[in-house]
Structure 1
Amino acid sequence: MTGNLTAGRLFAALIAVIAWLAISLRVWIVVGAAVAEGRTALDGFIAVFSYFTLQANTILAVVATACALRGQSESFLTRPTTQAAVTVYIVIVGVIYAVLLAGLRPPTGLAVPVDIGLHRVVPLLFALYWLIFVPKGRLAWRDPLPWLIFPALYVVYSLVYGALTGRYLYPFSNVPVLGYPRALGNAAVILAAFYALGLLLVAIDHALAGAVRPDRGTHHGRP
């Protein structure tokens, strides 16, 4: 169920264009607002890229661009494991936004389509891209563990950023309100969600590989 290679590259290109456009507009909006408040453009730039949403979408945009240009050729950015990890990151972005963040600070003006692009459109499109076009049967049960490195490092970064600036980026990590035990507990739950979704993707990968190539037998992991 890998789909047509040309169609996959075109779909990846579409995702890359949407992601880069949404990222660029978000940076422009936040940096402009920072300057209007008397802060520096650099402060606004650091602030916007301190959000997991922007980091995950940027990684996704880089990977989608590589897949559009190189297809499924063997490189780090186009490996099925890399694309699966990005799928986990961006799906979690969409789920957390929908469940916990939507409506807390309703966007206005240009920020409305940008928010929709970053939190809804890009996650949905990339999940479909992984499901339809990424080769299956290449993932192993051990893969979701290293995929946790990026979100785990982000937890550390966000807490340090909040302590240094006084700006905690998400309500579930707001240490002054929640305290460190609860904020860290929330982080552990979210990391567990990343891991669980990673395991689910491996299970789907194995199931789809078995459906396409039933003669492969019971071994679905990488050699």
Structure 2
Amino acid sequence: MPITHTLNGKTRWLAVLIALAGWSGLLLQWYLLQRAAQTDGRGIGQLLVAYFGYFTILTNLLVCAAVSWPLAAPTSAPGRFFLRPAAIGWVTASIVFVGLAYHLLLRRIWQPQGLHWVANTLLHYVTPGLFVIYSLAMLRGIALRWTAPLWWSGYLVAYFVYALVRGALIGSYPYGFIDVAALGYAVTIRNGCFLLLAFLLLGYVLIGAWRLGSRRS
């Protein structure tokens, strides 16, 4: 699929805001995790395993890459890739899924305070919200294929497999709804299937919204 256009005007400023919010949230979360690790004696290896075990962290890193590459090196291969409509759609579906999953599944069991609240808000609400606006600006007038969410879901499936393998190796799972030790494989896989269906539904809703914008434009 061809490149939409280069960043300019409002889209450039949106990309800058997203990069600032995303990198700030990621760095703050790393600082807080490192500070907590100092009190319980965890080493840098354990810290890295814990940090990169979360879908939230990995997807916010994806978002930061999706705006930072086009800003810093728009003519490079990654810069051109992240300006493609399908890539923007994939990143949008993934980060919106992060925000919705947190709000619906985790918000009531995790009530952060202070800097934890700031990091949590940046990663789960501010960055997803800004990227939705960015996607509307970049994809208006472009109709993505209806098969696109099937390809995008490969990222979620890959993370699910990664989380299960990681959990089997270290005995710890990043989220309670995929905790094999507590739920067993049958329930965990069932939960994974529900999450996959929710992701696909979200992808089609987003494509419908972008197509509606295309008709209105």
Task: Please give the residue correspondences for 1:135-150 in structure 2 after superposition, counting only pairs within 5 Å.
Answer: 135-150=140-155
Q: Structure 1 residue 194 and structure 2 residue 199: aligned?
A: yes
Deviations 1:123-148 (A, max 9, x none): 11111111133343241111111101
For residue 71 of structure 1, report the CA deviation from its aligned partner.
Answer: 6.8
Counterpart for residue 35 of structure 1? 38
Q: Which runs of 5+ in 1 are unaligned?
A: 213-223
Which amino acid letter does the alignment assign opposite residue 187 of structure 1?
A: G
Counterpart for residue 77 of structure 1? 82
Distance 1:87 1:72, change over 3 A: farther
Counterpart for residue 108 of structure 2? 103
**SS in structure 2 at match of 1:5:** coil
Query: Does the 8 A contact of 2:74 with 2:80 survive in 1?
Result: no
For residue 105 of structure 1, report the CA deviation from its aligned partner.
Answer: 2.8
Distance (Å, rounded) in 1 between the aligned partners of 2:35 and 2:134: 33
Counterpart for residue 159 of structure 1? 164
Distance (Å, rounded) in 1 between the aligned partners of 2:85 and 2:141: 8
For residue 8 of structure 1, report the CA deviation from its aligned partner.
Answer: 0.7
Counterpart for residue 92 of structure 2? 87
TM-score where L is the length of structure 2: 0.90
Distance (Å, rounded) in 2 between the aligned partners of 1:45 and 1:10: 32
TM-score where L is the length of structure 1: 0.87
Q: Structure 1 residue 68 and structure 2 residue 102: aligned?
A: no
Which deviates further from its counterpart, 60-69 or 165-174? 60-69
**SS in structure 2 at match of 1:148:** helix
Distance (Å, rounded) in 1 between the aligned partners of 2:72 and 2:214: 25
**SS in structure 1 at match of 2:196:** helix
Distance 1:93 1:125, change over 3 A: same
Counterpart for residue 220 of structure 1? none
Task: Please give the residue correspondences for 1:170-189 in structure 2 after superposition, counting only pairs within 5 Å.
Answer: 170-189=175-194
> Matched residue pairs, number?
210
For residue 109 of structure 1, report the CA deviation from its aligned partner.
Answer: 2.7
For residue 92 of structure 1, report the CA deviation from its aligned partner.
Answer: 0.8
Q: Structure 1 residue 122 and structure 2 residue 122: aligned?
A: no
Identity %: 33
Which amino acid letter does the alignment assign opposite residue 188 of structure 1?
A: C
Which amino acid letter does the alignment assign opposite residue 41 of structure 1?
A: I
For residue 31 of structure 1, report the CA deviation from its aligned partner.
Answer: 2.4
Distance (Å, rounded) in 1 between the aligned partners of 2:198 and 2:73: 31
For residue 188 of structure 1, report the CA deviation from its aligned partner.
Answer: 0.6
Aligned residues: CA RMSD: 2.0
Q: Structure 1 residue 6 and structure 2 residue 4: aligned?
A: no
Distance (Å, rounded) in 2 between the aligned partners of 1:171 and 1:23: 22
